[in-house]
């Protein structure tokens, strides 16, 4: 079979707020093969820019639009998916945005192959079984430590055993204020709750500030400290990692290729590698990172802040690794992100999340619900329309 057509759809909430919520807009990829099978994928963030990278005129032989390496390609096997990914990376080497665009394309290829072979994606990835994951709820540290405590307690009552607190006032003022926040979070979660802490790169360029929080993180039993620095600061990560055990460092959400994720494992010495399949180039490179992480004793975790289509795609790469139990789960997505799909991945009564066994990604977009969020877009170059929002 061949990839016959690919359509990109840009959706958005009527109003996008200036807050750290990645569920406010969305770029969906619809792929159709020559037999008429339809499949879907999703790219993380900046829909207009990824659309431009899909259809832009060629700059030179290593800076082609992503579409040039996808449309008309044969797609019959996992090897074809890998081949097409390599083609995109080679032909669009100097097009920085290409990795994000490829992400949704790659997901759609896996969805397509799964639907054609009547298998869920995790089986095509070589996993005999998809293990249940423990979803963690992610929220901001409250302005007052007492409020952080109440929110942690509420989430436990709602069935979340693992909670990630981050950003907000954390790291912004005194060590004492941060110690109070960590104490409050632990109190609210109870002794057996899994406490995850996200520093949101607040100590970038300031190792000493990070170092001063280590003993409190140990005292209140944080499982991981996420992004103390920006990803590139491999040396600082490595130094902090040596000090922080048994609290492990977590990072990697910004990685847009496998190499960067390996650097986080090999040089930054993180204990948890957080991969967004919507950024790193899709399911294929995510699975490569999961394999590499396992070989190095590092735990894989998805990074997901968007729809349940992206959630399914981001869990498939480590679905079959029994020991990697934690997964990120968007707890309060905007209406767009939730309504986007017909099926949803809902934690069961014991708080566990399970992938669907339906063919492909097992989660399909709901065009009827999505239509009201469609962002009509048109790109014209030298009088020729290169992109116009397709019919949904």
Binding site for a second copy (CB under 8 A): 12, 16-22, 24-25, 44-49, 51-53, 56-63, 93-97, 99-100, 230-235, 254, 256-260, 262-263, 266-267, 279, 375-383
Tokens 């990074």 belong to which residue? 303
- Of 83 and 352, the one with the shorter C-beta distance to a second copy is 83
Q: How far is the CB of 389 from a second copy (least distance, A)?
A: 10
Going by C-beta distance under 8 Å and a sequence separation of 6 or more, which residues neighbour residue 324? 133, 290, 294, 299, 300, 301, 318
Q: Tokens 């926040």, residue?
A: 181
User: Measured from the CB of residue 251, what is the shortest distance to a second copy in angstroms?
Assistant: 13
Measured CA angle at 21 (ends 88, 319), to 5 deg = 55
Closer residue to a second copy in complex, CB, 49/117: 49
Backbone angles phi, psi at 45, to 5 degrees: 65, 160
Least distance from C-beta 214 to a second copy, angstroms? 23
220 φ, ψ to 5°? -100, 15
What's the rounded Cα separation, in Å, for the pair 47 and 40?
15
DSSP state of 247: S
**Quick one: DSSP state of residue 65?**
-
CA distance linking residue 229 with residue 171, whole number of Å: 12
Nearer to a second copy, 162 or 236 (CB): 236
Q: Considering beta carbons, is residue 92 or 364 the nearer one to a second copy?
A: 92
Beta carbon of residue 355, minimum distance to a second copy (angstroms, whole number): 26
Residues 6+ apart with CB under 8 A from 51: 8, 10, 27, 377, 379, 387
The minimum distance between CB 204 and a second copy, in angstroms, equals: 10
Min dist. Cβ of residue 117 to a second copy (A) = 28
Run of H or E including 164: strand 162-166
Shortest separation between residue 38's beta carbon and a second copy, angstroms? 26
- Specify the residue, 169 or 351, whose C-beta has the smaller distance to a second copy: 169
Report d(CA 25, CA 201) in Å as an integer. 24
Q: For 312, how many CA atoms within 13 A lie in the half-sphere containing its CB? A: 30
Name the minimum Å distance from CB 18 to a second copy. 5
- DSSP, collapsed to helix, strand or coil, labels residue 161 as coil
**C-alpha to C-alpha distance for 79 and 90, rounded to whole angstroms:** 16
State which residue, 59 or 172, has the beta carbon closest to a second copy: 59
33 versus 276: smaller Cβ distance to a second copy: 276
What is the Cα–Cα distance from 321 to 129, expressed in whole angstroms? 9
Question: What are residue 321's DSSP bridge partners?
Answer: none
Nearer of residues 56 and 108 to a second copy, judged by Cβ: 56
């Amino acid at each position: 079979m061949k990839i016959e057509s690919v359509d990109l759809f840009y959706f958005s909430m009527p109003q996008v707020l200036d807050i750290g919520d990645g569920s406010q807009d969305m770029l969906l990829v619809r792929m159709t093969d020559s037999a008429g099978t339809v499949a879907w994928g999703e790219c993380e963030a900046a829909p207009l820019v990824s659309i431009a990278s899909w259809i832009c005129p060629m700059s030179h032989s290593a800076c082609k639009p992503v579409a040039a390496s996808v449309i008309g390609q044969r797609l019959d096997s996992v090897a074809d998916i890998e081949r097409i990914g390599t083609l995109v990376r080679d032909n669009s080497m100097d097009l920085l945005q290409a990795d994000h665009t490829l992400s949704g394309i790659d997901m759609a290829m896996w969805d397509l192959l799964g639907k054609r072979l009547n298998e869920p994606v995790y089986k095509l990835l070589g996993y005999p079984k998809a293990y249940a994951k423990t979803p963690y709820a992610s929220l901001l540290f409250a302005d007052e430590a007492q409020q952080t405590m109440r929110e942690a307690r509420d989430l436990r009552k709602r069935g979340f055993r693992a909670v990630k607190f981050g950003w907000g006032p954390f790291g912004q003022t005194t060590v004492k204020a941060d110690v109070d926040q960590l104490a409050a979070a632990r109190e609210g979660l109870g002794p057996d709750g899994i406490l995850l802490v996200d520093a949101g790169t607040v100590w970038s360029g300031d190792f000493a500030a990070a170092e001063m929080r280590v003993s409190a993180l140990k005292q209140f039993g944080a499982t991981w400290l996420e992004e103390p620095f920006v990803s590139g600061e491999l040396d600082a990560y490595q130094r902090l990692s040596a000090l922080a055990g048994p609290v492990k460092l977590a990072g990697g959400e910004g990685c847009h290729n496998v190499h960067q994720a390996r650097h986080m494992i090999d040089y930054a010495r993180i204990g948890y590698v957080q991969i967004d399949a919507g950024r790193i180039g899709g399911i294929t490179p995510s699975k490569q990172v999961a394999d590499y992480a396992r070989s190095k004793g590092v735990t894989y975790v998805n990074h997901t802040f968007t729809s349940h289509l992206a959630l399914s795609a981001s869990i498939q790469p480590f679905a079959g690794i029994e020991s990697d139990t934690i997964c990120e789960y968007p707890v309060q997505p905007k209406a767009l992100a939730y309504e986007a799909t017909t099926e949803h991945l809902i934690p069961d009564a014991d708080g566990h999340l399970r992938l669907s066994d339906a063919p492909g990604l097992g989660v399909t977009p709901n065009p009827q619900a999505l239509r009201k969020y469609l962002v009509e877009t048109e790109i014209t170059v030298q009088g020729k329309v290169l992109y116009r929002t397709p019919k949904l």
